[in-house]
Structure 1
Amino acid sequence: MQFKKSDLFIALLAVMGTTGVQAEEAPETLDTLEIRGNSLSGERYLAPLPNSGTGLALDSMQTPQSQSVVTRQQIEDFNLNDLNGLLTLTPGVTVEKVETDRTYYTARGFDITNFQLDGVGVPSAYGNIMGDLDTVFYERVEILRGANGLMSGSGNPSATVNLVRKRPTQEFAASASLLAGSWNQVRTEGDVSGRLMESGKVRGRLVMALENGDSYLDRYGKQRGAVYGVVEADLAPELLLTLGHSEQADETDSPLWGALPMQYTDGSSTDYDVSTSTSADWAYWNNTSRSSFLELQNTLSNGWTLLGRLTRNETDSDSKLFYVYGTPDRNTGLGLKAYPSRYDMTTEDIIGDLQLNGDFVVNGHQQEFMAGLQWYRSEVWDKSLYGQEIGTNLGAKEAFDGSYPEPAFDASEDGSEWTTSQTSLFAATRLTLSEPLSVIAGLRLTQLDTEGSTYGTSKETEYDLVPVPYAGVVYQLTPELSLYSSYTEIFDPQTEEDLSGDFLDPVQGRTFEGGVKTLFAEGQAQASLAIFHTRQDNVAEKVGTRPGGTAGVDDYYQGVDGMTSEGVELDLAGEVLSGLHTSAGFTHWIIKDAEGEDSREEIPRNQLKLAANYQVPHLPKLRVGGSVRWQSKVSSSVAEQEAYALADLMAAYRFNEQFQVSLNLNNITDEKYINSVMWDQAYYGAPASAQLKLDWQY
């Protein structure tokens, strides 16, 4: 589905118009509206019960791992309108923007490849994100750091990102916003929720967003349309049916495929203007994602719940791209070459999930249990149509001014078509052995099959009932203070290829974590300290580029044994003082190879992230806030970025219960920095910018 700006704008006006009609029948004021932990607004920076960890109904204090949650309030305060921006402000996570429309995420030194929707694992074909996922659909985003083999199936020791979708509310509520920002950015949002029948047995919610704008990068621009609808129906007092569908379409002009060369032929570093781009005028990259889901929840007579879910996700990517490769001469600027290509990709995931949850009593203590079955089938198809005259020498200006002419894309053709199927059985229990001591134990058995080929190479793999155990201990010293430790094994299939084009064997290993968590400020804030250690074998490490290939496109890897990562994380969230809402975190880690040498120096060893807003006591209508992101030095074989800090400011003034105006100032020091040195090429982050937003809510 391709969105037209006029169509979505009319639909958004319809939502706002419906809001006005319903408002006449509503009471004058509404308290915070919640349904199973979800609300239309009103959350601060401490979230309700996360559900991305063990699958058990545990709050953060009872979960033996480090967690962060980005709430709806924080998303709105800092205009975190896509997943990249949100994770940039999340403690312990590094956002590797290697290109404008392709992004990787890392935590604890390793790539994040585990993503969930409402706690259900979602396959990731290449371990990266094409296009920026809009956050308008989500009530909050949960980040569970460390291995999560119990619920994700792989035990990847980085982190799991769980996107928690908005759900209908019983009472009527609505909101809308209009944002204008630097580089001609315009964004509108609408959100309306409430009962669809007078009895309240059927409820619905409709969410929309439309965004259009240019960029600080030369020639780059993006148009976006996003819509999400969900309906809940009480089929019986104990039976709840939920149906939902979301769709997002991004149309991107002149995106970066690859980025800027970081070195001259004499080995010295390049230094371009922040706005510099190698993309051509004719280049584009369009991405559409769709997700449909059905849930049926049955509350049994003993209070246990049986939840069945069926999800279908689809992505379509259509692009004409221009890659510039080579190493320029410092004096002449010559030495760069052209690589035009057309690329199309389609993925389809079908996911079935069945879970049983409940509790029972042993020796006077409440125990918890969950068991489940998950199956998914993921199909990937892509095709590359290579342009004529690949390898053409570019003039010093031609590489950066967008003027390279569009060629015919008929020089050659290649592509992929493969299917991955996974079936998992999992179970976990929380046993309270005494009032302060509880033990969590779980096991997941996973069968994984891949068949098909990619670019002429077979992808046939098969793994039968691989066990991934999980264990954790929590000791509750007081109601506000707990100690914990956890252990899990790692089994993580990889998509990186060796010189022959075969997938590397899965990563295997184990990870340990221990820490302390505390509640304070009368339970309105939480702090935690975590120490972790991970050892992995067969971790993908880039070796080079295939002979005759192009760096970044035809790279190959080898598996490295004995890689260890260890470190410490500090986390803080909530209303630490009256009116002061904060989310903060500090992470320090080191990673070594089998010889004890530093590895993955392209990822920062130290990070500090802080976001806060403050309700001014003597000006109750005014909130002020800001955020700071600092990271230590990173380097690769061709690039280096010294430690740097970025600071943002925000202020919001509420005129009345319906209207609020806010101003956000980003990168207020106009810091110049490289987004990522993960690849041989890179580009610069956004300079200083501003956003002005008008919010309306009922």
Structure 2
Amino acid sequence: MSGRNRTIVSRGNPPWWHQTTTALLCGSVLFAIPAIGCAQQTDDGAYRLSPVIVNAQAAPDDDADTVVARELWVGGKVATSIQDTPASVSVITQQEIEQRGAQTTEEVLQYTPGVVTDYYGTDDRNDYFQIRGFQATTYRDGMTLGSMRGVREDPYAYERIEVLRGANSTLFGPADPGGSVNFVSKRPRFERFGNGFLSYGSFDHKEAGIDVGDVLDSDQTLAYRFTGKIQDSDREYDHSKNDNGLLMGGLTWEPTDQTSATLIVDYLSRDDTPNSGGYPLDREYDRDDFFGEPDFNDHEVDRTSVTGQLIHDFENGLTLRANVRYSDLEDDFQYVYITDSAARTGTLLDRDYFGTDTDAHEFIGNTILQYDASFGDIDSSTLGGVEYRDASTDTQSIYGDAASIDIANPVYSGGPDNLTPYRYENQDYRTRSVFLTQNLSFYDRFVVSAGVRNDSMDLSSEGESYGTAFDDSDDFSETTVRGALTYIVSDELSTYISYVESVAPPTIGVTPERGKQQEVGLKYSPDGMKAQFSAAVYNLERDDVTIAVVQDNGAIDQQTVGESRARGLDLEAKAELTDSLSIVGGYSYLDTEVLSGTLNSGASIEGNDFAIAPKHTAMLWGYYTLPGEKMSVGLGARYTDGYYFDAANTSKSDSATLIDAAFDYRIVRNTDFTVNVSNLFDEQHVVGSGTANYYNPGREIRAKVSYHW
């Protein structure tokens, strides 16, 4: 056995997070990432672990006090070694999120290589980010958010956020090829803990939050957790608001060492302004300008989710997992926005209005069986499962001309009088999936992984558009495969080569977009230091690509551009260099090309770069605790190369570097005063442009007092 293998012997009453056997620890990992991780129980009760499990005792929040995660919890299951995962992955831990004071998913992902965020500026309806030049799919505890994906998630609800770069439909089903972002929910822990905070900052930002938990019975079988947050704030532009709230409760029941059941109920509410109305194209305007309508631009979101998870270990190499979630969403917005053009003269600008009222319901669940066995120097893990998803969405959409506005002397005229919807639509999306993964580990050095998945999808859409009724349906059956080989060079170094496929969530009457990626990667975790360094080069191709193109009248049209390709390099470093100094950094090189494609206008875009695909991005965040451990400072820089705003490559952004900073002072034991500043020098540039310009967020300062116990 190499030094990477180890034995773990249970002594006394083990903590909740490793009361299941190592076979359980091996199991659900492989549904998330096809890297072998199984164990064999010896006669004396110890466990022999294959190379890829480096910490069988990892808890879900084991990285709450470090920026260097060792395990990957994709799928909300158990820990697997990041070091030996045959994919390019990043984990943003709770510690890193708190250091940087990140408030949104976009802010959380800003220091992650391969990811571009916030390219729609003051359009605040959704979180906007792309991975490796393509859209990314979002998950919560390994199950797709689907019809819930347009909602801005609150990072305070999650233990950590994980990023998988590249295609992965074999793991999770229909997904965009750029990669995936997985939110890992906060769960009960079998110990007493808590923290609370009060915060105030720019734009009259007021916020309070609490996160507490404890054991409920003397037998240590039932634990709870409650998380809540409320925010009352404006945005950086006039006539805006940014109010939201979160309530989340969880119960975990572990009657035996082999069985664990968790129930999580959460409610997310938002009442904010969706859009500033955009900014004219002729020059740079102040960020606080507002060219929408104060009494009309509004966005309200209410979402309730109920999640259940069950794990049972049969103690014979067989493990059962069941996961289920039901979500109910109301998402309503409307706004007035300007429609400018380069040919415009004078100060009078046309405006349009747009909005949707959406009711969505989603049920998703899976059942997974895994069997682990060992044959001498060969470890085997076989995983099979089924998944079912049923989602429905009812939408009413409004669109039309709004009153013009004089940008030299804005006078607001109120919202449009006639808001008769031009489109009613009811969509149903049903998916039935079956998947199989086989993993083999040879002599503690080679790990071979292979997987296949089939997704059968039934889609239907009925309603009325501009007075014309429609009733359409379609069905698809898509199969994806993946394979990987990992070589464990030493305890510190591993390398891999992989091939993965993806199929994007399809649209009625449109050929599903398929992606495929080849990747070679290297990971280094030096002994004697808590650090993780990684490098990956890849070739990612996508066929039958459909993109959103803004028309002259402001409407958005979906256009198929054919075939495209992205090639690049991702480098990442996360390290605690000393007990006082940690760094998080990365660099990405991205070379994109449209191999074939023609817009609806007839213009060829063959040879063009992707929109929103900077060739170079780089980021570095450092955090230093001064001697005495009462004061800490953080400083970060984010560089983004210039990129094209549109598929036609007619206009391009400037390159930009933004600086962030943090300060923390320990007032008394367990009580901290923190100040975070994003975009320290208030640098301003255009991040998105069509019929209007949109700027990057300006400087924002937030102060917080927090207490931990």
**TM-score band w.r.t. shorter chain:** 0.7 to 0.9
- 1:11 matched to which residue of 2? none
> 1:410-425 alignment to 2 at 5 Å?
410-425=419-434
Report the more deviating stretch, 434-443 or 66-75: 434-443
Partner residue of 2:138 out of 115, 118, 121: 115
Shift in CA distance, 367/579, structure 1 to aligned 2, threshold 3 Å: farther
Partner residue of 2:307 out of 260, 284, 293: 293
- 1:178 matched to which residue of 2? 198
How many Å apart are 1:610 and its aligned residue?
Answer: 1.8
Partner residue of 1:368 out of 381, 391, 401: 381
Amino acid at match of 2:553: T
How many Å apart are 1:160 and its aligned residue?
Answer: 0.7
Shift in CA distance, 105/459, structure 1 to aligned 2, threshold 3 Å: farther
Amino acid at match of 1:613: Y
Query: Partners in 2 of 1:683 and 1:543 — Cα distance?
Result: 16
For each residue in 1:34-70, what CA deviation from the matched residue of structure 2 results, as whole angstroms up to 9, or x when unmatched? 9952239843111242132898963112211111011
Shift in CA distance, 610/467, structure 1 to aligned 2, threshold 3 Å: same
Shift in CA distance, 460/195, structure 1 to aligned 2, threshold 3 Å: same
- 1:105 matched to which residue of 2? 129
Query: Partners in 2 of 1:314 and 1:402 — Cα distance?
Result: 39
> 1:402-551 alignment to 2 at 5 Å?
403-453=412-462, 455=465, 456-464=469-477, 466-495=478-507, 504-520=510-526, 522-542=528-548, 545=551, 550-551=553-554
> 1:614-633 alignment to 2 at 5 Å?
614-616=624-626, 618-633=627-642
Shift in CA distance, 55/503, structure 1 to aligned 2, threshold 3 Å: farther
Shift in CA distance, 220/356, structure 1 to aligned 2, threshold 3 Å: same
- 2:565 matched to which residue of 1? 564
Shift in CA distance, 156/544, structure 1 to aligned 2, threshold 3 Å: closer
Shift in CA distance, 363/53, structure 1 to aligned 2, threshold 3 Å: farther
TM-score (norm 1): 0.86
Name structure 1 gaps, 5 residues minimum: 1-33, 263-268, 496-501
- 1:47 matched to which residue of 2? 69
Give 3-state SS (helix, strand or coil) of 1:394's partner. Answer: strand
Name structure 2 gaps, 5 residues minimum: 1-55, 597-605
Amino acid at match of 2:367: L
Identity over aligned residues, as a percent? 21
Query: Partners in 1 of 2:230 and 2:81 — Cα distance?
Result: 35
Give 3-state SS (helix, strand or coil) of 2:668's partner. Answer: coil
Amino acid at match of 2:679: N
Give 3-state SS (helix, strand or coil) of 2:484's partner. Answer: strand
Give 3-state SS (helix, strand or coil) of 1:62's partner. Answer: coil
Query: Partners in 2 of 1:298 and 1:178 — Cα distance?
Result: 40
Query: Partners in 1 of 2:63 and 2:668 — Cα distance?
Result: 16
How many Å apart are 1:542 and its aligned residue?
Answer: 4.7
- 1:21 matched to which residue of 2? none
Give 3-state SS (helix, strand or coil) of 2:116's partner. Answer: strand
Partners of 1:450 and 1:460 within 8 A in 2: yes
2:694 aligned with 1:683: yes
Partners of 1:53 and 1:148 within 8 A in 2: no
How many Å apart are 1:328 and its aligned residue?
Answer: 6.9
- 1:349 matched to which residue of 2? 362
For each residue in 1:50-91, what CA deviation from the matched residue of structure 2 results, as whole angstroms up to 9, or x when unmatched? 132898963112211111011001111111122121122322
Partners of 1:521 and 1:577 within 8 A in 2: no
- 1:302 matched to which residue of 2? 316
How many residues were matched structurally? 635
Give 3-state SS (helix, strand or coil) of 1:38's partner. Answer: coil
How many Å apart are 1:592 and its aligned residue?
Answer: 1.0
Partner residue of 1:129 out of 143, 150, 164: 150
Amino acid at match of 2:655: A
Amino acid at match of 1:361: S
> 1:125-164 alignment to 2 at 5 Å?
129-130=150-151, 132-154=152-174, 156-164=176-184
2:252 aligned with 1:225: no
- 2:5 matched to which residue of 1? none
Partners of 1:532 and 1:568 within 8 A in 2: yes
Query: Partners in 2 of 1:35 and 1:659 — Cα distance?
Result: 29
2:203 aligned with 1:190: no
Give 3-state SS (helix, strand or coil) of 2:489's partner. Answer: strand
Shift in CA distance, 158/684, structure 1 to aligned 2, threshold 3 Å: same
- 1:86 matched to which residue of 2? 108
How many Å apart are 1:577 and its aligned residue?
Answer: 3.4
Report the more deviating stretch, 342-351 or 150-159: 150-159
How many Å apart are 1:684 and its aligned residue?
Answer: 1.4
- 1:598 matched to which residue of 2? 608
- 2:622 matched to which residue of 1? 612
Query: Aligned Cα RMSD in Å?
Result: 2.5
Give 3-state SS (helix, strand or coil) of 1:260's partner. Answer: coil
Amino acid at match of 2:129: Y
Amino acid at match of 1:673: H
Query: Partners in 2 of 1:431 and 1:402 — Cα distance?
Result: 69
Partner residue of 1:377 out of 384, 390, 409: 390
For each residue in 1:656-687, what CA deviation from the matched residue of structure 2 results, as whole angstroms up to 9, or x when unmatched? 3321111112211221122334x543321222
For each residue in 1:477-507, what CA deviation from the matched residue of structure 2 results, as whole angstroms up to 9, or x when unmatched? 1111011011012322345xxxxxx653211
How many Å apart are 1:226 and its aligned residue?
Answer: 0.5
Give 3-state SS (helix, strand or coil) of 2:211's partner. Answer: strand
For each residue in 1:198-218, what CA deviation from the matched residue of structure 2 results, as whole angstroms up to 9, or x when unmatched? 222110000001111112212
Query: Partners in 2 of 1:278 and 1:139 — Cα distance?
Result: 38
Partners of 1:425 and 1:446 within 8 A in 2: yes
How many Å apart are 1:468 and its aligned residue?
Answer: 0.5
Partners of 1:291 and 1:313 within 8 A in 2: yes
> 1:173-322 alignment to 2 at 5 Å?
173-253=193-273, 255-256=274-275, 259-262=278-281, 269-283=282-296, 284-322=298-336
How many Å apart are 1:329 and its aligned residue?
Answer: 6.2
Give 3-state SS (helix, strand or coil) of 1:169's partner. Answer: coil
Give 3-state SS (helix, strand or coil) of 2:680's partner. Answer: coil
How many Å apart are 1:457 and its aligned residue?
Answer: 4.9
Shift in CA distance, 210/391, structure 1 to aligned 2, threshold 3 Å: closer
Query: Partners in 2 of 1:476 and 1:53 — Cα distance?
Result: 24
- 2:655 matched to which residue of 1? 643
Shift in CA distance, 396/661, structure 1 to aligned 2, threshold 3 Å: closer
Shift in CA distance, 680/106, structure 1 to aligned 2, threshold 3 Å: farther
TM-score (norm 2): 0.85
Partners of 1:56 and 1:370 within 8 A in 2: no
Report the more deviating stretch, 85-94 or 625-634: 85-94
Query: Partners in 2 of 1:585 and 1:124 — Cα distance?
Result: 32
